[in-house]
């Protein structure tokens, strides 16, 4: 399965729309798209996961690494529109306590 990453830069935030599966094969592509965004600004990064059908531990690792960089730069990470399955994954791992997760969309329309 492939992954698709679309980026909308708005005034005070960047919204990233991710579609597909995030696994050991696709996580490097996602990391390659997200990390430069985290390093270049000190604002809000919103990642919309509405169209992500699957995520494994490598995907979780991408978001943990992203969060570290964003916090170092005084930015904010918000994951939005997670499926019930993804919400459970973040909850089971305890990452929902350290990453801002919202059920509703924020930012651009797609």
Beta strands 3-9 and 44-55, pairing class: unpaired
- Dump pLDDT digits (tens) for 88-107: 999 999 999 999 998 766 55
pLDDT at 110: 42
Indicate which CATH number applies to the domain containing 18: 3.30.750.24
Domain membership of residue 107 (yes or no) is no
Query: How many domains, the chain?
Result: 1
Q: What is the pLDDT of residue 43?
A: 80
Q: Is residue 90 part of a domain?
A: yes
pLDDT digits (tens, 9 = 90+) for 55-93: 999 999 999 999 999 999 888 999 999 999 999 999 999
What range does the domain containing 30 cover? Answer: 3-102
In a domain, 11, yes or no: yes
Q: What is the pTM of this model?
A: 0.90
Residue 107 CA to chain centroid, in angstroms?
Answer: 13
pLDDT given at position 109 = 43
Domain membership flag for residue 109? no
Is 110 a member of any domain? no
């Amino acid at each position: 399965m492939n992954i698709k990453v679309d980026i909308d830069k708005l005034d005070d935030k960047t919204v990233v729309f991710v579609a597909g599966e995030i696994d050991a094969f696709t996580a490097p592509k996602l990391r390659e798209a997200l990390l430069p965004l985290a390093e270049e600004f000190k604002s809000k990064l919103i990642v919309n996961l509405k169209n992500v059908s699957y995520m494994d531990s490598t995907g979780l690792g991408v978001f943990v690494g992203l969060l570290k960089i964003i916090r170092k730069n005084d930015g904010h990470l918000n994951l939005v529109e997670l499926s019930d399955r993804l919400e459970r994954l973040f909850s089971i791992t305890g990452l929902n306590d350290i990453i801002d997760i919202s059920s509703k969309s924020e930012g651009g329309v797609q």
